[in-house]
Each structure stands twice: as structure tokens, then as C-alpha cells.
Amino acid sequence: MNGAALERAWLPDLTAAIAGLYPDDVDTVVDRLVERARRAADERSAALRARDQERLVDPGWYQSNERVGYMAYLDRFAHSLRDVDRRIPYLRELGIDTLHFLSVLRPREGESDGGYAVRDYLTPDPRVGTTADLLRMIGQLHDNGIDVSLDFVLNHTSDDHEWAIAARNGSSYHQALYRLFPDRTAPDQWETSLPEVFPDMAPGNFTWNDELGRWVWTTFREFQWDLDYSNPDVLVEMAGIALALANYGVDILRLDAIAFTWKRLGTNCQNQPEAHLIAQALRATVAMAAPATILLAEAIVGPADLLGYLGRHDLERRECELAYHNQLMVQSWSMIATRRSDLARRALSQLPDPPARSTWFTYVRCHDDIGWAIDDADAAAVGVTGAGHRSFLAEFFRGDFPTSFARGTPFGVTVGDERTSGMASTLAGIEAARRAGDAAALARAIDRVVLLYAIAFGWGGIPIVYMGDELCQGDDRSWADDPDRHHDSRWAHRPMFDEQLAALRTETSTITGQVWSRLRHLIDVRRASGVFDDVGAVARPFDAGNEHVFGWHRIHPRWGSMIGLANVGETAATVVQRPADLVHDVQHDLLAPDDRDPWLLRPLQVRWLASPGPLPTSPRSR
């Protein structure tokens, strides 16, 4: 497909989005964006154009069952861009083909919210290398069959970004890129309906800047200046950056904090319709020049707001191809705490199916805290209250509930909205069991880690391993004594890659060896089974007739169906009810093919059941 054809294919999407955002200025803004896309298309390398062609003929490439992701802080995992090649064999051994590196682009000097206050979007952090190193690394990963995802922090820049500096030096063009206020009148009005993302570290949503003599809108930390997308210059500038990153070879642009990009007085300024239009406009602009690059929404929002980021509105739109399935994540943790599946079943069955060309990023842990996104109506439907259950989860994972096995750390302690930090291993009970020297509790904790991953790996979408979980790495305790990190407990789950643990991965007598081999097994089975392919597939929970068993049913039009069963209870459980539309009554467990009764589960066991016969294989074996 040539550039003109791509432009024609995406122009209606772009025009519709811009008409919604800037009704008085549609033609000019569309022209400016198309102009940026044309320039980027001209500059695109031959290698990336070849990638574009491959993906245009295989538009479901990111929906393949062979996809398995890994996310890591570049410096904490590999030290530097040049050292990443040493880690490629490790990633291949684990079965990874999609890599999300955090904290690559040049952050603010000093504290930078873990790299999320970006000073320069187009060069890497000098501590990890140069732009040439970045391009070489992306090329090397591509040559090894690994796609690259980077953060595109588009809601805010750091306060030492050149635009912020120019704004402080009096440039009116640059001042207009941000949201600045001469006095408290407007900020006070906005504050009446704005929540606080970092209530402890950065109370309020506005920061006084002496040099400007103005209040600056700062949703996150005081050094992260929110951009003003009601000014089309912001969108045009940021689209230019997205195109440049796509031309570096970034396969997946992670739209950081996309939910926050549009502000509307009297609302919580999240999930506004215009935030979706911004994503749609970026989608169309990038697609015109770099069709190999897709978008991942980082919208850690309640279930009712989630599907919009995949383009599901009154009518479907082309928006992000991927979004974090934070509801599956939260519900999975909730299930292991309560040992019940009813709330998860209810919440997940309320979610509409993702539009055809989109899918989930499924995960157990990431670099952020867990916010307990339990919907009030879902909670009420199973006889609890939303607030009550949210505070139960915070207490449970902090380790303060009588039956708790977790030893997490609170984050953002505001009454009613305490969130949780900690590695999967700490939250699943490894640490508590170890300290108690309780072998049975330890075995259960390992089973919990595997259960959580088996749900994420078996639901569909691109499952993500969070660095360290494959080794069952525990929390990093050093954050509490570091003046730059001690106020942000998220550093508890951002450890350095542990070489010594990694060396134990093949020793199956160790905790690390067990978790590693069991996760590897999940990955191998998934990669070999076309039922996990997502093109045209749906996944829905079903009632297994046993409160301890979480059941889900995947139906793929070409590769058949798969029934996932997770016994979140701590005693054996039998499935007494099967999905209503089950075609084959005879099933066997892809994970334990020799087991005779697939409907009976050990405590904390997960089964992936398929109809017998030749294993349906993947359409895209490499």
C-alpha cells in the first residue's frame, strides 16, 4: 500500500476526530497532521516500510497466540541500551516476543516519577545510551523476533522540557501548551471535582511556579506539567513525536495516562469523550505513515470506562488496538483474597467484548500500584458494598486482615482509596510463608502466583510478564532509605534484575526454578494452541456452579473453544456446571493432558480444557 492509499484509508477517521475536538478549525488541523504524517512517511526507513507491508497483509499480527510480553525498567533489567543484547537469549528462553521497556527516554534531572516526567521525547536517557544505541537496540530486538513498546507520556511533560523552559522565559506559544492560571480562582473551581492521583506525594492538582507567576496544572507530581489539548498545537506537536518514535521502530506506543488528557469543569477530568478523540486522531495520523505501529492505552480506569479505549462507543471507532485489562487483574487478586469467584464473574460478564481488531494486555503486576477498581454496582450484585470491598482488599493485601497471606505496602493512603504496592510474590504469600518457615503455605503461595498468571495467559490478548515475577523475585526494600524514593512505595516492586535468582531458574528444587518452569509451561502451551489466537475470538466468564471456581470460555471461530477453570479456593473443587454452548462434552486439559477427570481441581489449580483430537495449532508458526 502506498502513502496516498493509507492517507485515503485513514482520512475519514482523522477528520471525524478533529471535528469533535476543534470544530472551528477542522481543515487547518487536519492539514497540519496530514503534513506531519507525509513528512514521516518520506523519512521512514526501508526496513520499517517492509515491516509495514508485512503487517498490512497480516492485520491480526498482535492478536496471535504466540505473543507473550515482558515489561521492565531498562536500566534495572539490562543496565544500558548496549547491554540489552546480552539479555536477548534470556528473553527468548522465556518465550518473549514483545518487550515493553520503561524509562528509556530522557527524564527530568533529579526525581522524575520513575521516568514519567520526560524532558526530551526523542533522545534516550544519557545514562542508558545515545539515540544511535536506541536505534541499534530496536534493530537487534527486531532481528531476534522481539517487538518493542515504549511509553509515550502524552498527558504532561517534565518541568525541564524545552517547552516548559520556553514558557518560563516568556514565550506565549509555549505558555499556551500548558494550563496556567494567574490566581486560585479557576484552580479552586476545578478542585471541587478533581480527585488526587498522588495525595501523599503531591496533594492537589495545581502547583505555583514563581518564575511564571502562575499556577500550573499538575495532575501527577508537581514537576509533571499537564498539556492543554484544547490547544490544537499540542496535538500537532505530540503527533509529531509519536510519528518520530514510530520511525525509530517502536511497534507499540503506550499512551500513558491517556484518560487524563482532556479536562472538563465539574467532572473528575478523566475519560472525557475528547480523550478518546485524541487517541483516535493519533491512531489515524500514525497509521498514515507507520502502519506497523499500534497503540496501547494505559487507562487504569473503572470497568465502565475501559472498553472505550479499544474504540467501543455508541458506534465503534478505530482507537487503540490494545488496553491494559486492569479489571481482570484486580478481580484475579480479589478472588485469591476472598476464595470466591462470584464478583469476578459478575464484573467480567458486564464488560462488552472488545471490538474485532483490538485486544487486551493481560497482566498480574506492573510498575504501578494496584488501585482496587471494584465497581459499586458489581459489588452490590453479589451482596457487598464497593467501598467495603475496596477497603477489605487494601487491608488484606497490606497484610492486616486475619486470613491474609499478603505482605504488601500501602500506596496513596487516602480514606477510602488506599492502593497497594508489592511484587506478585509478596502479595501472593511467598514472603509470609518463608518467614514462618511453613512449607505448605509456601507451596500454596507458589500455586497462587502460577494461578494468577494462568488466568492472565489463558484469557486471551497479549499476556505480560512483569520483570522479576518469572523468578519469583520479592520486594526491593531499599526504597525506604533512599531520599529520592522513600515517599513512593511503588519502588517496592521495582527491584533490580536479580542475577543470582536468574542463575537458579533451571534448579527445580528452588522456588525460582518452580515458578520459572511453570510459567514457561504456560507459555509453551499457549504458543502451541491456536485457541488462544484472538482474531475473531471471544472470552467470557461462565458459572461453574461452584463458588470457588472461576470459569471462562474462549470461542475461536477457526481454532475451537477453550474452557479455563481456576480453583481460587484452598480445597479441592468440582465443576458442576459447564458452559451452555459447549459443543464437545469430552475435554482434556492442555496443561495436564494425562489427568483423567478434567472437572475436578486441586486447590489453586488452573486447567485449560480443549476438545480432544489433534492439538489445534497456531496459524503463524515462525
By CB under 6 A, name the binding residues for ligand GLC.
Answer: 113-114, 116, 153, 197, 220, 256-257, 298, 300, 367-369, 371
Instruction: Tell me how far, at minimum, the Cβ of 574 lies from ligand GLC, in Å.
Output: 38
Instruction: Tell me how far, at minimum, the Cβ of 136 lies from ligand GLC, in Å.
Output: 27
3-state helix, strand, coil in the chain (%, to 5): 40, 20, 40
Nearer to ligand GLC, 157 or 561 (CB): 157
Q: How far apart are CA 65 and CA 98, in angstroms?
A: 12
The dihedral through the CA atoms of 607, 612, 614, 616 has a sign that is negative
Nearer to ligand GLC, 197 or 450 (CB): 197
The dihedral through the CA atoms of 263, 187, 390, 410 has a sign that is positive
Nearer to ligand GLC, 361 or 599 (CB): 361
CA distances from 15 to 78, 255, 295 (A): 42, 21, 19
Which one of the listed residues 256, 476, 488, 533 is annotated catalytic?
Answer: 256
Q: How far apart are CA 69 and CA 80, in angstroms?
A: 20
Residue 368: other Cβ atoms inside 10 A: 18
Q: How far apart are CA 392 and CA 330, in angstroms?
A: 13
Nearer to ligand GLC, 257 or 601 (CB): 257
Nearer to ligand GLC, 113 or 159 (CB): 113
Is residue 300 within 8 Å of residue 373, measured between CB atoms? yes
Report the candidate in 617, 552, 562, 614 with the shortest Cα–Cα distance to residue 587. 562
Residue type, 564: G
Instruction: Tell me how far, at minimum, the Cβ of 193 lies from ligand GLC, in Å.
Output: 16
C-alpha cell at 35: 503534513
Q: How far apart are CA 214 and CA 206, in angstroms?
A: 10
Instruction: Tell me how far, at minimum, the Cβ of 558 lies from ligand GLC, in Å.
Output: 35
Q: Which residue is nearest to ligand GLC (CB)?
A: 116
Instruction: Tell me how far, at minimum, the Cβ of 114 lies from ligand GLC, in Å.
Output: 6
Round to the nearest angstrom and report the end-to-end CA distance of the chain: 24
Is residue 167 within 8 Å of residue 116, measured between CB atoms? no
Nearer to ligand GLC, 3 or 114 (CB): 114
Q: What are phi and psi of 183, to 5 degrees?
A: -145, -170
Is residue 556 within 8 Å of residue 530, measured between CB atoms? yes
Nearer to ligand GLC, 278 or 555 (CB): 278
Which one of the listed residues 125, 228, 298, 543 is annotated catalytic?
Answer: 298
Q: What are phi and psi of 474, to 5 degrees?
A: -90, -170
For residue 404, count CB atoms less than 10 angstroms from its CB and return exposed for 0-12, middle for 13-18, buried for 19 or more.
middle
Whether 298 sits among the annotated catalytic residues: the reply is yes
Pairing of strands 206-209, 214-217: antiparallel
Catalytic residues: 256, 298
